[in-house]
A and B are shown apart, each in its own frame.
Chain A
Amino acid sequence: MRSQGKSAIEKVFSRLTSKDAHSGDFVWASPDMVYVHDVLGPMMLDSYRKLGNPPVKYRGRTLFVYDHIFPPKDSASANNILSMKEFASLNGIESIPAGDGIEHTLLIERGDITPGMFVVGSDSHTVTAGANGAFGAGLGSTDLACLLASGETWFMVPETILFRLQGKLNRFVTGKDVILNIISRIGVDGANYRCMEFRNDGGAHLGLDERLAIANMTVEAGAKTCFLPPDVSHEKLTEIQSDEDARISEELSVDLSSIEPEIAAPYSPGNVKHVSDLQGTEVNQVYIGNCANGTLTDLKEAAEILKHNHVRDGVTMIVVPATRNIYSKALDLGLIKIFLDSGAVVSPPTCGACAGLHMGVLGHDQVCVSNTNRNFRGRMGDPTSKVYLANSYVAAAAAVEGKIVNPQEVF
């Protein structure tokens, strides 16, 4: 009799440790790739100095990405990047050219993150790797310093919560709505410490950009990592996803056709409501773009709404293509002209105001509809400001009307 099957994440840790890994095991492992950004990077270098600046022992690939506060907003943020570049060149670490884009979107686009890999990053949204069938987990800066110095770090092999996707998405409904819907069902700690694995049943298929939106916010349900079926052969998929007889801690069905445009109201990504419940809420800012939702699909969706419309007086609309390549394609397709002509501001790729860093930070009592991933108190700026999380259609429609509306109304 063959032994019990493995979950996808058990397969990963079995490969990394060359042992039979099970959920609940405590293991030391060396991930396939590490990437570090400019907000946690300088703290990682502080920790590395405390370790006595040893030679880098980690043998996987290490990438430094300068995306959070780029272009730098002040000399402190400029010096942070300089310190990382100096460390990178002294230690033979690869720097991604600054301005190329936001790490989670960019590293999939560049082909650095591929199906089946296990990657760690200095960012909680490293889970976004799951959009391309890789396993990503966020770590802190001291963790990463010790990983580079010693070659390994610790993990608890997580349990798996399996989501079976069925049906097709309706018009104006996107991956963002799928994940908001799921978070509303399981709560903001509903997947804490676990791997959220998705499976397509009954003809369901989601493109990479929809998968990015879903994977990105699994951390908003507490997930350690996630996995969505990538665009690979059936054989490859069978190899990397959970076996049919794997131990699964919980299983849920998601009927994609039953989902409507959702909004997460302040101050929690789990405070999810239907657009109709918030109809008429006044808005001063609209923000499109982050590590999952500055994709070409998002820009096309926003442009569909703005093509024959204008951003309402008194509303600031900011569009942030996630990568240089997406920006360039949007330019070729005429989307950037649509944004400029409609009165929107187009920003270079950066994490920007999504995390309240720069380029669109909110002031007192301002209300923003954003297609980003967090709406905590003060997330995008002043503690009195409010952020509503929604898909790009809903966000663009709010820019046109100056209030939350159903995108159908302005199309």
Chain B
Amino acid sequence: MGRIFVFGDDIDTDVIAPGGYLHLKIEDVKKHCMEAIYPDFWKEVSKGDVIIAGKNFGTGSSREQAPVVLMELGISLILARSFARIFFRNAVNVGLPIGTIADPSEFKAGDIAEIDLEKGVLIRAADHKEINFKAPSGALADILSEGGIIPYTLKKLGKLPDDKR
């Protein structure tokens, strides 16, 4: 179960991970996540939470800190009408589940919901309303299911990650 956070269109990477902190460690960057539009976001969000947004989520920079800080803060799924290219790619690569939806207005901020990644559905606790989402398919689904492109590449290279040896 997680809480839903709702954002609008064109949420950019400078808002998600501001430039002035990028030379620091992720633990420091994450305290500034969304600070220009939602200063307490990093304090309020916790594991299992979901972001629902409009079009072009993650527009802007290639900074991988953007999906990483969201994941570090506990975001377990991002659903948007569309994603900017590099954010989409980075999210898959770091193993952050994402999906596209037709209508972001079906859920409200603060709703509690359960994620079913396998079925591609988000279920609201209060009324069991379901929202279907389209997750990445093909090789990208394989990368995501391995937990990101690092475990995927280790497998490809015939190696096990250090923590699984």
> Which A residues contact B (CB, under 8 angstroms)?
26, 38-40, 43, 47, 50-52, 54, 69, 73-74, 76-77, 80, 121-124, 126, 138-143, 145-146, 149-150, 154, 188-189, 192-193, 222, 224, 268, 355-357, 361, 374, 376-379, 381, 383
Contacts and interface: CB of A to CB of B under 8 A. Distances in A.
A123 B22 CA distance: 13
Given A124-B86, A146-B153, A40 B24 contact: no
Contacts of B61: 123-124, 355
Interface residues of B, number: 45
A299 to B, nearest CB: 24
Contact of A378 (B18, B139, B154): B18
B149 A142 contact: yes
Contacts of A192: 56, 82, 84-85
Contact of A77 (B14, B23, B64, B150): B23
Interface of B: 10, 12, 14-15, 18-20, 22-24, 35-37, 55-56, 59-65, 68, 82, 84-86, 89-90, 93-94, 138-140, 148-150, 152-154, 156-157, 159, 161-162
Contact of A222 (B19, B23, B56, B89): B56
B150 A139 contact: no
28 contacts: A50-B150, A50-B161, A51-B157, A54-B159, A69-B23, A76-B23, A77-B23, A124-B60, A139-B89, A140-B86, A140-B93, A141-B64, A142-B90, A142-B94, A142-B149, A146-B149, A154-B140, A189-B55, A192-B56, A224-B85, A355-B61, A356-B20, A376-B14, A376-B15, A377-B36, A378-B14, A379-B14, A383-B35
A80 B85 contact: no
Nearest to A270: B10
A51 B153 contact: yes
Contact of A143 (B24, B90, B156): B90
A122 to B, nearest CB: 6
Contacts of B89: 139-140, 143
Nearest to B55: A189
B14 A357 contact: no
A39 B89 CA distance: 18
B122 to A, nearest CB: 23
Given A52-B159, A222-B59, A268-B10, A356 B18 contact: yes
Contacts of A47: 150
Contacts of A145: 150
A124 B14 contact: no
A377 B149 contact: no
A143 B91 CA distance: 11
Interface centre among A142, A143, A188, A383 (most CB of B within 10 A): A142
A192 B84 CA distance: 7
Given A52-B154, A142-B64, A374-B14, 4 more contacts: A43-B65, A140-B90, A188-B10, A377-B14
B55 A139 contact: no
A50 B18 contact: no
B36 A150 contact: no
B12 A376 contact: yes
B12 to A, nearest CB: 4
